[in-house]
């Protein structure tokens, strides 16, 4: 179980001396080390909340408090480049504790194994911690991942964004919300994942093919968004987060409250957000406001350490405005919009008003999980989950029809999953599982428009097994998966009279992986991963038919598409010689057979609304390859620097022609200065863990593109500078984390290749954000 062996928190109470003595005569000694390298960590700030006393660890990572009274205490640990940790402790005797802190920024490639129950993530991945989530309250899920190597954002304006990992997105990228595959209209490039990152404690990106447990389609990556188990804390605890941002005059508020009890542990989490029109370097982006209301509940219950049960329910509701000037009619309109320096409909004034074009999306999830420990080494897990996704998109329409959605979809999804795992004594580990997912997708005929995506019913049934073994310095990992998918589709013809045309499909998918990691001397390691997977074409790729207003083109699926096949190889090198330096390099190559993509056709289709470009889903053999580099190093005891570089290229195999919509290369660097000692303004007001960070992001121009592959040339390279000042304010024993952050410090005018709004307007300008986090 998680809490027996929490990855970030290793507490071992060793000594039991002086169990009977005076009340305030106990000592508390401790040792703090880096979880990744196991080396001692010096200069860690240790703070006891109840006594408001603090100290720092010495060269050997040790610290000591004397004259501690009998009682309950909350201790916090913080260090440059680490996620701050808090623990609860009963002092009844002299106590020695050991704490492992995880270096968060360069956890690319870290092996994260949670508990004995094999939530095995044994390969190229990186993770976003709770503190990073808290410091980005004003952002959405995708934006949290923005500066990670190999991760890029596909945007439609500032409010709508989805992640792309190693150039793959949409149907090829799986997002798991608390262990359940996020189901919705993931095919659309203008559809954000409907998840509140604030309900999560950790976001992990699995870049390799190792994510075999999580379903087919995983030719790309898997993003895990997970809340952690409720802390074993008998008191009522919670936190309140608030953030303000100047660009869009946005306010975000999040509150979380929870309590552990052996009867039932619970946690509630709620978030509300509202922001108005964003601004570029010199004009407003009208109708780009956002509102969001989210709530989640988490319940946990254990019986005699053998049976564990949890329930998770969440609701996510958002209204997203889309730049009015990006809503256009035919090809002539597009050409005219492209030639405008400032988009049509740009107004002088800021507004919170969200009018058409806009999206109203709600997503509800419930999940229950039961886990039974047969014995020390074996357990079975049963998961039942349901999701409802309701998406309505509104366009500017004639005769008062603006209030009627032009796209109205409702999707119900049910999951049943069974998993068995066994840790054999001789370092063999086995996991077997079965997943069933049934999806029912319907168009609401209220739109008065022929649907772009047809109604369908699909059923997926997948079986998987993984096996891992460590022999001395070698770690092996095998995985195999088979998926059956059944689709029953009811399309409406676009000839007259309209009639229903039915399709029925059965697909078989197979995927397999092999991973080998070898530990070299001096904390170096090399790992090789090879994975083969097939993905059957999605409903949109098979049956899209009609005008996609969002992209002002006619999109046509092809019901004869073949299953896509891919072979991905990755080679990774890691070096963690000390807590002061780390380096990691990941090279990957993915070879596709029958890669499916939406290709602009030479054909222009004439309609009464004028000419429209035609896009068709076609297949080709393709290759995507790249390199991710990241390094972190300390300069003295006060400075920490981080460097990241991503290179990516996608080409068609037959003639080397570029693939469209591939992320440009990028470089990210940051330098953090940490004030070593607390700043004392008075005995009552202390600033602790004060850090100043400067970030620099350079995105290269996407040169790997032919002129006739897009309406306009890709935008030029740009360089964004950011600043962040953060500190823990301790006032009369209460601690509050606060930050001031500036994005696009120089108010640079720029456009980004992966942001579709670039056809019409600049990207966002200067933004100042202020945030507070109060834990109780």
Query: Of 588, 465, 469, which is closest to residue 529 (Cα–Cα)?
Result: 588
Report the nearest approach of another protein to the CB of residue 679 (Å): 55
Taken as a whole, the chain contains a residue count of: 776
Report the nearest approach of another protein to the CB of residue 765 (Å): 23
Residue 722 contacts residue 146 (beta carbons within 8 Å)? no
Report the nearest approach of another protein to the CB of residue 454 (Å): 7
Residue ranges binding another protein (CB under 8 A): 307, 325, 327-330, 332-333, 344-345, 370, 372, 380, 382, 396-399, 401, 416, 418, 434, 436, 438, 440, 442-443, 445-451, 454-457, 459, 461, 486, 488-490, 492, 494-496, 498-500, 545-547, 554, 556, 605-612
If the CB atoms of residues 289 and 451 are measured against another protein, the closer one turns out to be 451
Report the nearest approach of another protein to the CB of residue 557 (Å): 12
Report the nearest approach of another protein to the CB of residue 347 (Å): 11
Report the nearest approach of another protein to the CB of residue 536 (Å): 16
Kind plus residue range of the DSSP H or E element containing 331: helix 331-339
Residue 545 contacts residue 555 (beta carbons within 8 Å)? yes
Residue 68 contacts residue 88 (beta carbons within 8 Å)? no
If the CB atoms of residues 396 and 736 are measured against another protein, the closer one turns out to be 396
If the CB atoms of residues 187 and 459 are measured against another protein, the closer one turns out to be 459
If the CB atoms of residues 366 and 718 are measured against another protein, the closer one turns out to be 366
Residue 611 contacts residue 175 (beta carbons within 8 Å)? no
**Could you give the CA distance from residue 120 to residue 108 in angstroms, rounded to a whole number?**
15
> What are 411's strand-pairing partners?
389, 441
If the CB atoms of residues 398 and 654 are measured against another protein, the closer one turns out to be 398
Report the nearest approach of another protein to the CB of residue 705 (Å): 27
CA-derived radius of gyration, the chain = 27
CB atoms within 10 A of CB 669: 15
If the CB atoms of residues 399 and 683 are measured against another protein, the closer one turns out to be 399
If the CB atoms of residues 261 and 436 are measured against another protein, the closer one turns out to be 436
Report the nearest approach of another protein to the CB of residue 549 (Å): 9
Q: DSSP class of residue 146?
A: T
Report the nearest approach of another protein to the CB of residue 647 (Å): 39
Query: Of 534, 532, 529, which is closest to residue 512 (Cα–Cα)?
Result: 532
3-state secondary structure of 2: helix
Report the nearest approach of another protein to the CB of residue 387 (Å): 16
If the CB atoms of residues 221 and 437 are measured against another protein, the closer one turns out to be 437
**What Cα–Cα distance (Å) separates residue 476 from each residue in 109, 427, 470, 531, 696?**
15, 11, 6, 14, 38
Backbone angles phi, psi at 38, to 5 degrees: 65, 10
If the CB atoms of residues 249 and 384 are measured against another protein, the closer one turns out to be 384
**Per-residue exposure over 298-332, b if at least 16 CB sit within 10 Å of its own CB, e if not:** bbbbbeeeeebbbbbbbbbbbbbbbbbbbbbebbe
The sign of the dihedral angle between the CA atoms of 752, 755, 758, 764 is negative
If the CB atoms of residues 83 and 417 are measured against another protein, the closer one turns out to be 417
Query: Of 660, 490, 635, 631, which is closest to residue 573 (Cα–Cα)?
Result: 631
Report the nearest approach of another protein to the CB of residue 546 (Å): 6
**Could you give the CA distance from residue 667 to residue 188 in angstroms, rounded to a whole number?**
28
If the CB atoms of residues 471 and 606 are measured against another protein, the closer one turns out to be 606
Q: Which tokens is 213 given?
A: 């447990």
């Amino acid at each position: 179980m998680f809490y027996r062996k929490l990855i970030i928190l290793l507490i071992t109470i060793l000594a039991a001396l002086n169990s009977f003595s005076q009340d305030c005569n106990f000592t508390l000694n401790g040792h703090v080390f880096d979880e990744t390298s196991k080396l001692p960590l010096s200069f860690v700030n240790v703070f006891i909340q109840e006594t408001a006393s603090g100290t720092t660890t010495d060269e050997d990572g040790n610290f000591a408090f004397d004259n501690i009274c009998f009682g309950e205490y909350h201790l916090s640990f913080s260090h440059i480049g680490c996620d701050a940790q808090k623990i609860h402790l009963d002092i009844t005797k002299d106590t020695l504790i050991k704490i492992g802190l995880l270096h968060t920024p360069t956890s690319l490639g870290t092996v994260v194994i949670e508990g004995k129950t094999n939530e095995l993530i044994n390969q190229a991945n990186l993770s976003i911690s709770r503190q990073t989530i808290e410091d980005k309250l004003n952002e959405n899920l995708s934006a949290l991942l923005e500066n990670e190597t190999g991760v890029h954002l596909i945007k439609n304006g500032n409010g709508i964004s989805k992640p792309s990992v190693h150039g793959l997105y949409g149907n090829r990228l799986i997002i798991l919300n608390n262990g359940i595959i996020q189901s919705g209209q993931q095919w659309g490039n203008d559809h954000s994942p409907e998840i509140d990152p604030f309900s999560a404690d950790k976001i992990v990106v699995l870049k390799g093919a190792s994510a075999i447990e999580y379903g087919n389609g995983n030719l790309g990556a898997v993003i895990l968004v997970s809340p952690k188990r409720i802390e074993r804390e008998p008191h009522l605890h919670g936190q309140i987060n608030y953030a303000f941002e100047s660009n869009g005059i946005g306010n975000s508020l999040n509150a979380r409250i929870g309590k552990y009890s052996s009867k039932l542990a619970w946690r509630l989490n709620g978030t509300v957000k509202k922001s108005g029109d964003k601004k570029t370097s010199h004009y407003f982006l009208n109708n780009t406001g956002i509102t969001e209301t989210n709530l989640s509940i988490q319940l946990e219950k254990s019986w005699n350490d053998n049976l564990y049960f949890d329930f998770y329910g969440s609701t996510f509701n958002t209204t997203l405005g889309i730049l009015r000037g990006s809503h256009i009619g035919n090809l002539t309109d597009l050409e005219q919009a492209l030639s405008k320096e400032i988009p049509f409909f740009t107004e002088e004034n800021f507004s919170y008003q969200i009018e058409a074009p806009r999206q109203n999306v709600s997503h509800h999830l419930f999940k229950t999980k039961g886990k039974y420990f047969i014995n020390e080494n074996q357990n079975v897990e049963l998961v039942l989950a349901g999701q409802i996704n309701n998406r309505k998109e509104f366009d500017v329409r004639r005769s008062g029809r603006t209030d009627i959605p032009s796209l109205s979809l409702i999707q119900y999804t049910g999951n049943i999953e069974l998993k068995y795992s066994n840790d054999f004594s001789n370092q063999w580990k086995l996991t077997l599982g079965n997943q069933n997912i049934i999806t029912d997708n319907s168009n609401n005929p209220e739109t008065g428009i022929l649907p772009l995506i047809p109604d369908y019913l699909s059923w997926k049934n997948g079986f998987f097994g993984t096996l891992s073994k460590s022999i001395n310095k070698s770690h092996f990992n095998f995985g195999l998966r088979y998926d059956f998918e059944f689709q029953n589709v009811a399309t409406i013809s676009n000839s007259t009279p309209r009639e229903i045309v039915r399709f029925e499909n059965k697909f078989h998918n197979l995927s397999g992986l092999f991973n080998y990691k070898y530990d070299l001397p001096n904390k170096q390691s090399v790992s090789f991963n090879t994975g083969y997977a097939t993905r059957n074409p999605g409903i949109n790729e098979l049956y899209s038919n009609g005008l996609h207003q969002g992209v002002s083109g006619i999109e046509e699926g092809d019901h004869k598409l073949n299953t896509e096949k891919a072979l991905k190889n990755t080679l990774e090198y890691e070096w963690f010689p000390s807590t002061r330096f780390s380096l990691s390099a990941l090279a990957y190559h993915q070879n596709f057979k029958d890669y499916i993509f939406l290709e602009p056709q030479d054909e222009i289709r004439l309609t009464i609304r004028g000419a429209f470009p035609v896009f068709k889903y076609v297949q080709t053999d393709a290759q995507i390859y790249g390199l991710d580099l990241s390094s972190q190093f300390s300069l003295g005891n006060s400075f920490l620097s981080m460097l990241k570089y991503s290179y990516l290229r996608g080409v068609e195999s037959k003639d080397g022609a570029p693939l469209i919509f591939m992320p440009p290369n990028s470089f990210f660097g940051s330098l953090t200065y940490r004030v070593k000692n607390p700043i004392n303004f008075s005995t009552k007001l202390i600033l602790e863990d004060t850090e100043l960070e400067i970030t620099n992001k350079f995105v290269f121009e996407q040169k790997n593109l032919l002129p006739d592959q897009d309406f306009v040339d890709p935008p030029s390279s740009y360089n964004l500078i950011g600043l962040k000042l953060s500190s823990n304010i301790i006032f009369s024993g209460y601690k509050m984390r606060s930050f001031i952050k500036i994005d696009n410090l120089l108010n640079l005018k720029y456009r980004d290749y992966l942001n579709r709004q670039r056809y019409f307007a600049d990207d966002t300008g200067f933004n100042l954000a202020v945030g507070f986090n109060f834990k109780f």
